[in-house]
């Protein structure tokens, strides 16, 4: 379906993202077992497990409860500032190692879900067991994620350093100009109100640029799942080669899901906010700390449970679309002869 014969230095063939999404939806409708069931198991084994451990072992609930209690019972801003500056959890070594282990576990599980989606998109047999496929090669999966993280941080550093210096220079010149021309306080505030939106726009543009530069590694999990013997570094390199000349295309594809992601975040935030607000009202009316604690816990649980059907659908939809895109690009990519280098590598090592 996506076969493409071309000379090795031919320009890339671009794909219609609507067709990719349509194919992804068709995959989700025809897959057995159903995609939503496998995705639900995946989310319960990751986000659901993390939520449970946070409620049982974490300190976010007591921290939020104490913070709200101080907010409602004191008028001293210094007390509130002291509470805000207090860390929400102790810097204990076991807690730190547990958090690290959970992050590694999440990375391996995510790789298993990517592998499941890739097999399903190719019409191969894929089931619940594929979610655990990453544990057989956990070392390579973790190294791949560390490489992607390191390269992404390098790109972020290259973008944010000049942006921060430029904004600092802009603010310095603004303050010097205000001092030389002895602007009044009202004029200074009005000028700052004009300047701050410009700074926000600059940082948003920088974030989009970082996303544009780091999306070259989006295929790395698929590449490693597709060719596990190549190793993690080659998977990252192959992702960069496959997406060479397609950064704008994959950026548009990823940004086309931003509305759904915002909706998901809004739903979770609304549910959590309503529960916490109810707990605060009950606390103010009766002074019951139990009511406040229940409201906070209910907010965390329900903000995960109630939007879960939508989260399941969106997770499967996005990953299936990305897998379809990988299949299309990898099938269309020209294959080099023995000893011939593929184009697409920049002068930078990342």
Residue 349 pLDDT: 63
66 has a pLDDT exceeding 60: yes
Residue recorded with tokens 């639900």: 40
Cα–Cα dist 164/210, whole Å = 14
Which of 9-18, 179-188, 248-257 is predicted with the least confidence, judged by mean pLDDT?
179-188
Q: Which two tokens stand for residue 76?
A: 């001293």
pTM: 0.85
Indicate the domain borders of the chain: 19-332
8 Å CB contact between 45 and 131: yes
8 Å CB contact between 57 and 90: no
Contacts of 120 (CB under 8 A, 6+ apart): 27, 31, 35, 126, 320, 323
Q: Which two tokens stand for residue 232?
A: 């993690």
Q: What are the pLDDT digits (tens) for 278-325?
A: 999 988 888 888 888 999 999 999 999 999 999 999 999 999 999 999
Strand ranges for the chain from DSSP E? none
122 has a pLDDT exceeding 50: yes
8 Å CB contact between 98 and 57: yes
Which of 90-99, 140-149, 211-220, 287-296 is predicted with the least confidence, judged by mean pLDDT?
90-99
Contacts of 34 (CB under 8 A, 6+ apart): none
Cα–Cα dist 333/239, whole Å = 11
Cα–Cα dist 270/194, whole Å = 31
**Mean pLDDT of all residues in 116-133:** 93
Residue 321 pLDDT: 96
**Mean pLDDT of all residues in 100-119:** 95
Contacts of 160 (CB under 8 A, 6+ apart): 206, 210
């Amino acid at each position: 379906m996506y076969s493409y014969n071309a000379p090795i230095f031919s320009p890339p063939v671009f794909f219609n993202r609507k067709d990719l999404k349509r194919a992804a939806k068709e995959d989700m409708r025809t897959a057995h077992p159903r995609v939503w069931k496998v995705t639900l198991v995946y989310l319960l084994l990751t986000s659901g497990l993390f939520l449970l451990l946070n409620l049982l072992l974490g300190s976010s609930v007591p921290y939020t409860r104490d913070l709200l209690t101080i907010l409602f019972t004191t008028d001293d801003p210094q007390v509130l500032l002291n509470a805000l500056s207090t860390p929400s959890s102790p810097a204990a070594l076991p807690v730190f190692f547990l958090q690290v282990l959970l992050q590694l576990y999440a990375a391996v599980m995510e790789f298993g879900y990517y592998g499941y989606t890739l097999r399903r998109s190719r019409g191969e047999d894929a089931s619940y067991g594929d979610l655990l496929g990453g544990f057989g090669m956990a070392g390579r999966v973790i190294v791949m994620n560390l490489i992607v993280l390191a390269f992404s941080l390098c790109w972020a550093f290259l973008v944010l350093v000049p942006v921060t210096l430029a904004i600092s220079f802009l603010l310095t010149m603004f303050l010097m100009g205000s001092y030389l021309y002895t602007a009044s306080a009202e004029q200074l505030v009005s000028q700052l109100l004009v300047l701050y939106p410009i700074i926000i726009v600059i940082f948003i543009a920088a974030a989009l640029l970082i996303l544009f530069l780091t999306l070259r590694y989006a295929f790395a999990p698929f590449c490693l799942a597709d060719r596990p013997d190549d190793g993690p570094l080659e998977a990252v390199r192959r992702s960069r080669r496959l997406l060479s000349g397609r950064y704008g295309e994959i950026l548009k594809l990823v940004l086309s899901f931003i509305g759904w992601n915002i909706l998901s975040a809004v739903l979770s935030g609304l549910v959590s906010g309503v529960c916490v607000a109810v707990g605060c009202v009950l606390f103010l009316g009766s002074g019951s700390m139990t009511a406040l604690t229940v409201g906070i816990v209910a907010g965390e649980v329900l903000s995960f449970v109630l939007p879960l059907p939508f989260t399941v659908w969106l997770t499967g939809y996005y990953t299936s679309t990305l897998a379809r895109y990988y299949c299309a690009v990898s099938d269309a990519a020209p294959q080099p002869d023995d000893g011939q280098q593929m184009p697409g590598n920049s002068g930078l090592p990342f």
